[in-house]
C-alpha cells in the first residue's frame, strides 16, 4: 500500500534526545470518511492522489491505521500565551513522520485532532469539522497568496461527536509543514533541559532549515538572524493583505518562517489597525497593527533561549542578540514599504514614499475603506461612489501618487501590471468562509469547493468572480473567531 501510494517517510526528529517528544499513537475513531483531499499538494509530495482515496488510506488519515514502520509521536514544547509562559506540547496532534518529496525537500506529516496525548492538559484531543475545514480553506488561500504557510493534505470526518459549546461533528486534519519546530520548542529546551539538549535542538534546526550556516563561525547567532529575517518577511506579507493571525503566541511562531495555526485568524475588511477578531484577545494584544511588534517580542524570547550558545559571556550574548532584534525591526520596515510600493505600482524608491502610503492608509481608516477593494480600485483607477474616493483629500493624494509614478522609468502599463501582481482581487472574506462552513455542516460541500477554487487564483483579475469581492451586509454585531478547542 505504501509503495503504491508514494509514501517515503523518514523520522529525523526521533534522532533528537527523547525529552523533546513522546511516542504515542492516534486514538482510533468510529467511522472515518474522507471529506477533502488536496490533490495538487499530494502530487507535489510524490503521493498518488487516487490511492489516497482508498479505504486503507482514509484509515491512516483518521489514525485508525499506522503506516508500516511509522512511529507516531507528540512533540514537547512550551510557549508564552498572551505573554504568560506555559508548558504545552502537542495536545491533540501526532507526527506520523516526514515525507521526503521528489525534490528532496522534507515535510512533516501531522494528524491534528487525533486524540489525547501526554500533553493534552485535560483536553479531549479532538477537533471539530468546522475548524478543520476552516484551516483547509485559509491555509490554501495563504499558499495561493504566495505567503509561507503550513498546508492541509486531507480532512476526514470521524463519525463521532465532540463537545464544545454544543455537540459538534468531529474531524481530523492532515497538516503538512516544513517542520513543527517553534519558538516554543526552544523555550521548552531552555527551561526544562540541559545545555547539551538545547545545542542538539539548535544543531538539528540548522541542519534541517538553514544548512548553509552549518560549520560557520557563530552559527547560533546566525540562526537567530535567519529566523528573524524570515519572520520579518512573513509578517510584512500578512500586513500587505490584511491578514490577522489572532493568536501570535510563541508556540505559534515557526522556526521555518511558515504561518501556522489557523484558529481565530481572519482577513480585515475595513482598514483599521486596531482590528481584532479573536474572541479571547480581549485586550487587543494581537490586533492587526500590533503584529509586527509582537513578532519582535516573540523573537526576543527566542533570542533568550539561544544566549548560552551565542556567547559564554551573557552580557556579550545579550548585546549580540539585541542587534539582531533591531535588524528584524529594520528589515520588516524595508519589506513592508517595498510591498506597499508594489501595491501602488511604484518600482523605485524615494524617501517620501512612506508618507504617501501612510496618508492613504489614514484616509482609508477615516472613510472606512475596505483594505483589499481599495487597492483593487487603485489598480484599475475605477473608484465608484465610495466616500473615500469622492473626498477632496483623496483627489489631492491621487495627484501626488500620479506624479510619483511619473518619476520612474517604467510605463503606466508596467505599473498597472505590478499592481495586478501585488493586489489580490479576492481574499477569504469572513462571511464567505462562514457560508461555506455552514453549508458543509449540513452535508453540502459544493459551496466550499467553489470557494477554494476561486481562492486558488487570487491574482487572476481577468476571470475573477465578482461576487467574491463583495462585502458582507452591514451589521452591528462584530465578527468573532474562535480557537476551536
List residues with catalytic annotation. Answer: 251
CB–CB of 343/240 below 8 Å?
Answer: yes
User: How far apart, in whole angstroms, are the C-alpha atoms of residue 247 and residue 291?
Assistant: 10
User: How far apart, in whole angstroms, are the C-alpha atoms of residue 13 and residue 177?
Assistant: 13
Q: Other C-beta atoms within 10 Å of 333: how many?
A: 14
The per-residue DSSP string of 380-427 comes to HT--TT-TTTTSHHHHHHHHHHHHHHHSSSS-HHHHHHHHHHHS-S--
Using the Cα atoms of residue 287, residue 293, residue 299 and residue 301 in order, give the sign of their dihedral: negative
Q: Which three cell numbers stand for residue 152?
A: 492541509
Candidates 429, 455, 412, 292; CA nearest to 372 is 429
What is each CA distance from 402 to 171, 346, 387, 390, 396, in whole angstroms?
Answer: 51, 10, 20, 17, 10
User: How far apart, in whole angstroms, are the C-alpha atoms of residue 302 and residue 287?
Assistant: 21
CB–CB of 402/415 below 8 Å?
Answer: no
For the chain, percent helix, then strand, then coil, each to nearest 5? Answer: 45, 15, 40
User: How far apart, in whole angstroms, are the C-alpha atoms of residue 259 and residue 250?
Assistant: 12
According to DSSP, the residues that pair with 243 across neighbouring strands are 267
Q: 431: which residues sit within 8 A by CB, 6+ positions away?
A: 472, 479
Q: 395: which residues sit within 8 A by CB, 6+ positions away?
A: none
CB–CB of 250/187 below 8 Å?
Answer: yes
CB–CB of 37/49 below 8 Å?
Answer: yes
Amino acid at each position: 500500500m505504501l509503495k503504491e501510494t508514494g509514501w517515503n517517510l523518514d523520522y529525523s526528529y526521533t534522532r533528537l534526545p527523547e525529552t523533546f517528544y513522546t511516542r504515542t499513537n492516534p486514538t482510533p475513531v468510529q467511522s472515518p470518511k474522507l471529506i477533502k483531499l488536496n490533490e495538487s499538494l499530494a502530487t507535489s509530495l510524490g503521493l498518488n492522489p487516487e490511492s489516497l482515496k482508498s479505504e486503507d488510506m482514509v484509515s491512516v488519515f483518521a489514525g485508525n491505521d499506522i503506516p508500516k514502520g511509522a512511529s507516531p509521536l507528540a512533540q514537547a514544547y512550551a510557549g508564552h500565551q498572551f505573554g504568560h509562559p506555559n508548558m504545552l506540547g502537542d495536545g491533540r496532534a501526532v507526527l506520523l513522520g516526514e515525507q521526503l518529496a521528489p525534490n528532496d525537500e522534507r515535510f512533516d506529516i501531522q494528524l491534528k485532532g487525533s486524540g489525547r496525548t501526554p500533553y493534552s492538559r485535560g483536553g479531549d484531543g479532538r477537533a471539530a469539522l468546522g475548524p478543520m475545514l476552516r484551516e483547509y480553506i485559509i491555509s490554501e488561500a495563504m499558499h495561493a497568496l504566495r505567503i509561507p504557510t503550513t498546508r492541509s493534505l486531507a480532512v476526514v470526518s470521524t463519525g463521532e461527536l465532540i463537545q464544545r459549546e454544543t455537540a459538534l461533528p468531529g474531524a481530523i486534519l492532515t497538516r503538512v509543514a516544513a517542520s513543527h519546530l517553534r519558538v516554543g520548542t526552544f523555550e521548552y529546551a531552555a527551561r526544562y533541559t540541559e545545555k547539551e539538549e538545547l545545542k542538539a535542538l539548535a544543531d538539528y534546526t540548522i541542519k534541517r532549515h538553514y544548512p548553509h550556516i552549518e560549520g560557520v563561525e557563530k552559527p547560533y547567532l546566525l540562526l537567530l538572524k535567519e529566523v528573524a529575517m524570515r519572520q520579518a518577511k512573513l509578517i510584512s506579507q500578512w500586513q500587505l493583505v490584511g491578514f490577522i493571525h489572532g493568536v501570535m503566541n510563541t508556540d505559534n511562531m515557526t522556526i521555518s518562517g511558515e504561518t501556522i495555526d489557523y484558529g481565530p485568524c481572519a482577513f480585515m475588511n475595513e482598514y483599521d489597525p486596531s482590528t481584532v477578531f479573536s474572541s479571547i484577545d480581549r485586550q487587543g494584544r494581537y490586533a492587526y497593527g500590533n503584529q509586527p511588534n509582537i513578532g519582535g517580542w516573540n523573537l526576543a524570547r527566542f533570542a533568550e533561549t539561544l544566549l548560552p550558545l551565542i556567547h559564554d559571556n551573557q552580557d556579550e550574548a545579550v548585546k549580540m542578540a539585541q542587534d539582531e532584534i533591531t535588524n528584524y525591526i529594520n528589515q520588516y520596515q524595508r519589506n513592508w514599504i517595498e510591498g506597499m510600493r508594489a501595491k501602488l505600482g511604484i518600482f523605485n524608491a524615494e524617501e517620501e514614499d512612506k508618507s504617501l502610503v501612510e496618508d492613504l492608509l489614514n484616509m482609508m481608516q477615516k472613510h472606512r475603506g475596505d483594505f483589499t477593494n481599495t487597492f483593487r480600485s487603485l489598480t484599475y483607477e475605477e473608484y465608484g461612489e465610495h466616500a473615500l474616493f469622492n473626498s477632496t483629500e483623496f483627489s489631492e493624494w491621487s495627484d501626488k501618487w500620479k506624479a510619483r509614478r511619473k518619476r520612474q522609468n517604467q510605463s503606466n502599463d508596467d505599473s498597472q501590471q505590478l499592481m495586478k501582481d501585488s493586489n489580490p482581487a479576492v481574499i477569504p472574506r469572513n462571511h464567505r468562509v462562514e457560508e461555506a462552513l455552514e453549508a458543509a455542516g449540513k452535508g453540502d460541500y459544493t459551496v466550499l469547493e467553489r470557494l477554494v477554487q476561486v481562492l486558488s487564483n487570487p491574482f487572476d483579475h481577468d476571470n475573477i468572480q465578482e461576487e467574491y469581492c463583495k462585502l458582507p451586509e452591514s451589521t452591528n454585531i462584530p465578527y468573532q473567531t474562535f480557537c476551536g478547542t
